[in-house]
Structure 1
């Protein structure tokens, strides 16, 4: 293995939170450095888990994947068909506009609020600045062009979702409130001690300004290194505003549709759903934690949302599908299932979608 391959593999081991020694894992089982709380149906006192769900793969499976298959080469740089945008300062009333920055980072504007999801403006989604998945598309909004950010919805702590450097920049420039599941506050405050943060468990709700943010279960996991697997919680969000209800999922396995049916049962009608459609190959390794476009459509239909927007594709090469495959597969599966293309759009960086007005 050459040096470049070794660094990439090391970054992946950290990214997927596997590869720790037996001693380190034994120590990790004895305590949780991010969260302390009572045992629940998804927390055993040390680690969070998916009730009746599947555990993420282990180190031997990572080796099998990385050295037993062939990953397609992505282009080093891709220009989005949409020019970088300069968003309006505010979108008021019941209007709803969602702009893609890249990967899982989107700007949601409604009810006079500016909300970012899983903000990453760094060049790499990695524990290292010199190795790991590198950005191939420029952010669809330059950081300096952001309107005043009020809230950040941070779904979980994987490096393509929780970027400490970007959060520190946001603190300095905007001082937003970060809303995130249990345990992630410890990670953020170790880097940016004065960050404003509120945490919640599945089923909790936080009311802020003109919005309510509900924490919903999804089927995923968390890790920042090799001995902290699932020590911080992951979640989907339901955003409730005068612009309607929005279901946002940063990352999930399809899990027999449970994340979608549960959300619909609890919250009823959604004006829009923001759903991951990428990072799904090979299926034997990714299926339990990352849904594919076919499953994303099924989830959209189960949720009952009017429209869906696809994210988590085309920015960082994390897995084995080609760069454009998620959008192409999504398009084909929409046609196969008889769902109008305008109802589920995979957004590209710089692309802004405005929800049609409803009666």
Structure 2
């Protein structure tokens, strides 16, 4: 007990944040507050529980699976992992494809661009190992093995989405990607001398070569230290590729609870060709429901955004919640079946697996 108390005191001293005054505050935007940000449904506020409640919940087991997967974790890792096809990832062709890097990490290769999304390749998610979520499935590759990255999209500042180890090693390997981050997160990069960072508010758009990237709302929260709850924004990314006048649309929701945000995204930006949506870290519901969808809600989001195809993320990698690692696939199948949807409408990839995507090819210049 004394060791834990000392560790907690060290955390307080090491992670003290400078004030939470919001330099981006715009009173015309309902999700802005002078001290940070809120969800569109402002009844759902995360990150405000005192440290001792979070510690008590960890001791109680709220963030640990109630049981191991069938056959144990080593068997689960074998069943749900494949070797990365490094030659395929480095091909310079225009064939669109997506690779699951574990948890919420994705490599989207679209229109000749390599887009890295929320990469987390470390063996724990947190400021230090003792009070962090352990990784149970090895990462499928190292940061040094990634192909040349054009864009890195970071949805929010939680440790399982913003991994300093990955970013540091990516830059040390000689890569110079452009980073797109929510309002307030650029400061984290500035403190580390990292350039090429653009901040985005909800519904902001940025053009990058043949792509247009929108930052979309989600129902979640942010926190990097004991003192900066909701001081920075969170959200998802909507990526549009216009192939010869025919749009192809990808939506990564980021972490989110179920909300009206997704019907608004569909109405404002159009139907989705590929949706990446969380399907894990959803139990116990009294703790998780407001900010983490369960598989049934994930399938409802698929319908809300009129997604032709979906891929499940945020599961089967880190110990974050009570459901066993092999529970999400069962619950996804049940949710699809309950709505009489095809069992392949929502893919669950294996760690390191790549899927080719049916994206219209670019027309040659001048072709009608």
TM score, norm. by length of structure 2: 0.84
Matching residue of 1:322: 324
Matching residue of 1:140: 140
RMSD after superposition: 2.8
> 1:187 & 1:180 partners in 2: Cα distance?
10
User: 270, 273, 280: which one pairs with 1:271?
Assistant: 273
**Shift of residue 219, structure 1, vs aligned partner:** 0.4
Matching residue of 1:17: none
Matching residue of 1:197: 197
**Shift of residue 34, structure 1, vs aligned partner:** 7.1
**Shift of residue 350, structure 1, vs aligned partner:** 1.1
> 1:270 & 1:239 partners in 2: Cα distance?
10
> 2:357 & 2:40 partners in 1: Cα distance?
34
> 1:266 & 1:127 partners in 2: Cα distance?
37
1:49 counterpart = 2:38: yes
Structure 2 runs not aligned, ≥5 long: 362-368
Question: What is the DSSP-based 3-state SS (H/G/I as helix, E as strand, rest coil) of the residue aligned with 2:199?
Answer: strand
Equivalent pair of 1:84/1:142 in contact (CA under 8 Å): no
> 1:2 & 1:83 partners in 2: Cα distance?
44
> 1:296 & 1:37 partners in 2: Cα distance?
31
Equivalent pair of 1:92/1:110 in contact (CA under 8 Å): no
Matching residue of 1:248: 252
Matching residue of 1:181: 182
> 1:135 & 1:202 partners in 2: Cα distance?
31
Structure 1 runs not aligned, ≥5 long: 15-19
Question: What is the DSSP-based 3-state SS (H/G/I as helix, E as strand, rest coil) of the residue aligned with 2:225?
Answer: coil
Matched residue count: 340
1:352 counterpart = 2:354: yes
Equivalent pair of 1:185/1:197 in contact (CA under 8 Å): yes
User: 53, 62, 65: which one pairs with 2:54?
Assistant: 62
Matching residue of 2:227: 227
Counterparts of residues 1-359 of structure 1 (less than 5 Å): 6=4, 31-32=19-20, 35-39=23-27, 40-53=29-42, 54-56=44-46, 58-59=49-50, 62=54, 65-68=57-60, 71=64, 72-74=66-68, 75=72, 77=74, 78-79=77-78, 80-86=80-86, 87-90=88-91, 92-93=93-94, 95-172=95-172, 173-191=174-192, 193-242=193-242, 244-255=248-259, 258-356=260-358
> 1:352 & 1:326 partners in 2: Cα distance?
20
**Shift of residue 82, structure 1, vs aligned partner:** 1.8
Equivalent pair of 1:98/1:108 in contact (CA under 8 Å): yes
**Using a 3 Å threshold, how does the CA distance of structure 1 residues 35 and 347 change in structure 2: closer, same or farther?**
farther
> 1:119 & 1:69 partners in 2: Cα distance?
26
